[in-house]
Amino acid sequence: MGFERRQTKQIHVGKVAVGGGAPISVQSMTTTKTSDVEGTLQQIYALAAAGCDIVRCTCNELEAAEGLAQIVPRSPVPIIADIHHQYKMALAALEAGVHGLRLNPGNIRKPEHIKAVAMEARDRNVPIRIGVNGGSLDPALYEKHGGLTAEAMVESALQEIAYFKEVDFDLIKISVKASNVPLMVEAYRQLSAVTNYPLHLGVTEAGPLPNGLIKATAGISTLLLEGIGDTIRYSLTADPVEEARAGRQLLESLGLRERKNVDLIACPSCGRAEIDVIEVANRAMRAFEDKKIPLQIAVMGCVVNGPGEAREADLGIAAGNKRGHLFVKGRNVAVVPESEMVEALVDWATYIHEHGVEAAIARVDTTIAEREAAKDRNALLEEKGDDANHSTEKIVEIRKTISGN
């Protein structure tokens, strides 16, 4: 990696290590009523399958706390209870056996209540996330700083830490989320400069897809590339499984987590494309969605530049003359009918995943595929030329315009 992660104190949320050089974890939150034990567990399992490491559930009423007592022992991942106004719900959640708490200092303000929860968490060795939220800042801090500022959010977190220290509690994780990306980034930068507790990153209320995905990625990735952040959550107005997938894909894209599934790359298409690249790429994504095959796979629109541009991909396919030319590490290995392109990708990807690249290449006579690819490449060049988008002609006109001739 080209960046160094900030060193933080390590805590454990159940079996998941957070901070101290541990892999950055992906979090999400259930949208079911926590009292609906079976429905909540179903969502938790779906989140875990999508790459979620830790799941948060709301604990806002007695029935929710009772639900957690049944959910926690059956969950495949650690469970954090989300607490807002009622500190006794935090105590009830701890009694239910949760692996962590999230407290919002803007909503629980009485020092004695905060310390009561911290003492109980201390005795049970359960960590607490101080979840500062720009939308629910303590009015006193809002007034002191003249509005919602990074300084106000950081001060809110430090106040909570001070209460925890009074009762010798230091199993702490912190977030300073805001829906405004520059504000969120600045708050985390300031916080990381004054504390070594692990930080949970997120842009709160990011919104629906695709805008929410863009906002959250802008904030989270900016900080991760600066080495800041130990856990992340995409707060999207969408199925929480989309949050888990987005978080996992981001970490894999940045090289911060080992790849678990396909990294699909595709050309942007041009006048030379022999297929609807977008349609084929989307079909391929759907085909690989639930398969744990950690390969980079390319979908290219033509055989002229496709294999060369995607030569570093483990596996790819390029269209030419109503056929799909499969290539492994840039080497042509097979030709299949256009209608069978996606199915062929899945078959070859599965074989490569199980037996390796060399074994995959060795099982076919590559000279036939290479000869057919060359034939289709030449035919396409004769039909559409090297300059399928006529950029050469445009460049001539541009030069005329600039020179005044």
Same domain, 84 and 224: yes
| 279 contacts: CB under 8 Å, gap ≥ 6 | none
Measured CA to CA, the distance from residue 235 to residue 220 in angstroms comes to 11
φ, ψ of residue 385 to 5 degrees: the values are 80, 170
Same domain, 190 and 277: no
Q: Structural domain of residue 299, as residue ranges?
A: 263-384
For residue 356, the domain's CATH number is: 3.30.413.10
Considering the domain boundaries, does residue 336 fall inside one?
A: yes
pLDDT in tens, 19-31: 999 999 999 999 9
pLDDT in tens, 127-145: 999 999 988 888 999 999 9
Measured CA to CA, the distance from residue 250 to residue 232 in angstroms comes to 10
Measured CA to CA, the distance from residue 357 to residue 179 in angstroms comes to 45
Measured in whole angstroms, the distance separating CA 231 from the mean position of its chain's CA atoms is 10
pLDDT in tens, 38-68: 999 999 999 998 899 999 999 999 999 999 9
Chain position carrying tokens 């969502």: 43
Given 253, 277, 297, which residue is the final one in a domain? 253
Considering the domain boundaries, does residue 230 fall inside one?
A: yes
pLDDT in tens, 163-193: 999 999 999 999 999 999 999 999 999 999 9
Considering the domain boundaries, does residue 289 fall inside one?
A: yes
Q: What is the pTM of this model?
A: 0.82
pLDDT of residue 289: 83
Same domain, 232 and 287: no
Same domain, 276 and 235: no
Number of domains in the chain: 2
Same domain, 243 and 282: no
For residue 103, the domain's CATH number is: 3.20.20.20
C-beta of residue 269 within 8 angstroms of C-beta of residue 278: yes
Same domain, 335 and 368: yes
Chain position carrying tokens 């199925």: 239
Same domain, 45 and 154: yes
Considering the domain boundaries, does residue 2 fall inside one?
A: no
Considering the domain boundaries, does residue 402 fall inside one?
A: no
φ, ψ of residue 330 to 5 degrees: the values are 80, 0
Same domain, 220 and 272: no
Same domain, 196 and 243: yes
Same domain, 212 and 269: no
**Is residue 387 predicted with pLDDT exceeding 80?**
no
Same domain, 173 and 308: no
Considering the domain boundaries, does residue 392 fall inside one?
A: no
Same domain, 36 and 142: yes
Given 234, 253, 272, which residue is the final one in a domain? 253
Neighbours of 103 (CB within 10 A): 25
Query: Residues 375, 381, 383, CA angle at the centre, nearest 5°?
Result: 105
Considering the domain boundaries, does residue 247 fall inside one?
A: yes
Considering the domain boundaries, does residue 135 fall inside one?
A: yes
